[in-house]
Amino acid sequence: MKPLMSALSSAEVLEQGVEEVMMRWEKRALAEVSAALGQSSLVLRNSLPVFLRSLVILLSRKERSELQIGIDATALLRSSQLHGRGRAEIPAYLMSQVIAEYHLLREVVFEFLAESAAISTEDRELMTSAFEQAVNVAATEFALVMREIQDQFMLSIAHDLKTPITAAKLSGELALRSPGGLSMGPLVEKMIGNMKRMSEMIETIHDTSRVESGHRLSFPISECDLDQVARDVAVDMRLVYGGEFEVDSDGRLLGDWNPEYLRRVIENVVSNAAKFRAAGTPVSIRIRKSGELATLEVHNRGEPIAAADLARLFGGFRWKSEGGTQKGWGLGLTLTQGIVNAFGGSIGAESTREGGTTFSVTLPIHAQAVVRGDVA
């Protein structure tokens, strides 16, 4: 951006340069805030452009009454509150990184204004105060949302674990009260089944916690058939959800993966598609091999996922669909991404009203070799 005439006020320069400031800030954020990496520009900027425009309004008051300043400041801090809340919904972010983003923005704003206009002492003090208050508001909102998420998560765990625990307890009581001649087999099987469900829930929490803390999952690798695992999952999904689950494949597709974790990947993606598909429509599972890569695509038709939600879809404990009727911990897709990463693969999603929603999983055929670094 070419320097503007120095006769322009700070408010006028900043108003004309909001986009330039955001471009500079985004470049620095990507370089200096690790959580920003991988975020789309839309998600990364969040409400910061609104914050800058509110700052322009605050600066533009020639005769600032206390009421006007209060109204302008409220709008400015509201944008910071939204920014803090938005960051809490992205798993990678820490409070320190939210604070760092505002410090970077303040530096960029002052540097930009210094290039194009003389900053009055009054404007400098006002902007300094505005940024300090914005940081406090954003950090406070971030902390509040994280507390809400933690509380919801614990309530969800308690609710979901209560069912198998109660069932196992009742089965044990019935086994104790049953006459000696009654076969214990069905009751024991029921107890074992419910204990297995609890074990799987705890394992999911453990694995997802490791993924969210930045650790790579590790598990033994053995040969398995992607086509067969997908077809087994499709059979189970028909029993659970009803409707059609179509598998389009060229036949056996052997690879070095882990059968249990591969199944969890497919189950999580397919069950997600089943929950959010339009009534009466099928879920399609397409499997293809290209060179040393295997691709699994799961498609459903229904309400599209909003662009902003797509960017945080794998957010684990923090992301949940607003207004949806499906209940759960919201751990499945985060864990899926962690497993896929451990295989050395990738996962992504596309969603439009016309084309529906497609999740794409790409896996190296020889996952163990890729994870060890034997394959370029």
Q: Which of 168, 191, 215 is the last residue of a domain?
A: 215
170 and 253 assigned to the same domain: no
CA dihedral 171, 177, 182, 184 (to 10 degrees): 30
Residues of the chain with pLDDT under 70: 1-7, 61-73, 150-216, 218, 308, 311-312, 315-332, 369-376
Six-digit token string for 242: 């009803």
Six-digit token string for 18: 């909001």
295 and 158 assigned to the same domain: no
* Cα three-residue angle 118-123-125, rounded to 5 degrees: 120
- For residues 55 and 61, the answer to whether their CB atoms sit within 8 Å is no
The pLDDT of residue 39 is 81
Q: What CATH code is carried by the domain that includes residue 292?
A: 3.30.565.10
238 and 193 assigned to the same domain: no
172 and 36 assigned to the same domain: yes
The pLDDT of residue 103 is 93
The pLDDT of residue 283 is 94
Alpha carbons 119 and 110: distance in angstroms, whole number? 9
The pLDDT of residue 376 is 44
List, as one string, the DSSP characters of 69-94.
HHHHHHHHHHHHHHHHHHHHTSTT--
127 and 6 assigned to the same domain: yes
Q: Which of 163, 184, 215 is the last residue of a domain?
A: 215
The pLDDT of residue 293 is 94
175-192 residue pLDDT tens: 666 665 456 666 666 666
Instruction: Report the amino acid identity of residue 221.
Output: I
The pLDDT of residue 20 is 93
240 and 297 assigned to the same domain: yes
Domain span at residue 29 reads 1-215
Q: Which residues pair with 66 in a beta bridge?
A: none
The pLDDT of residue 303 is 87
175 and 272 assigned to the same domain: no
Instruction: Report the amino acid identity of residue 145.
Output: V
For 375, phi then psi, to 5°, come to -110, 135
Six-digit token string for 4: 């503007």
Six-digit token string for 10: 């700070």
306 and 202 assigned to the same domain: no
Cα dihedral sign, 99-102-108-109: negative
The string over 260-290, giving b where at least 16 C-beta atoms fall within 10 Å of a residue's C-beta and e elsewhere, is ebbbbbbbbbbbbbbbbbeeeeebbbbbebe
The pLDDT of residue 112 is 93
Contacts 24+ apart (CB under 8 A), 17-23: 17/112, 17/116, 18/49, 18/52, 18/53, 18/56, 20/112, 21/52, 21/105, 21/108, 21/109, 21/112, 22/48, 22/49, 22/52
For 248, phi then psi, to 5°, come to -110, 110
Give the total number of structural domains in the chain: 2
265 and 117 assigned to the same domain: no
Instruction: Report the amino acid identity of residue 29.
Output: A
Show the DSSP H helices in the chain as ranges.
10-16, 18-32, 41-45, 48-60, 66-88, 95-116, 121-177, 185-212, 226-241, 259-276, 307-310, 332-342, 367-372
Six-digit token string for 376: 């370029």
The pLDDT of residue 163 is 61
Residue 87 CA: distances (Å) to CA of 75, 77, 317: 19, 15, 13
Q: Which of 199, 215, 231 is the last residue of a domain?
A: 215
Q: Is the pTM of this model over 0.85?
A: no
150 and 284 assigned to the same domain: no
Alpha carbons 199 and 130: distance in angstroms, whole number? 50
* C-alpha neighbours within 13 Å on the C-beta side of residue 192: 6
155 and 247 assigned to the same domain: no
121 and 136 assigned to the same domain: yes
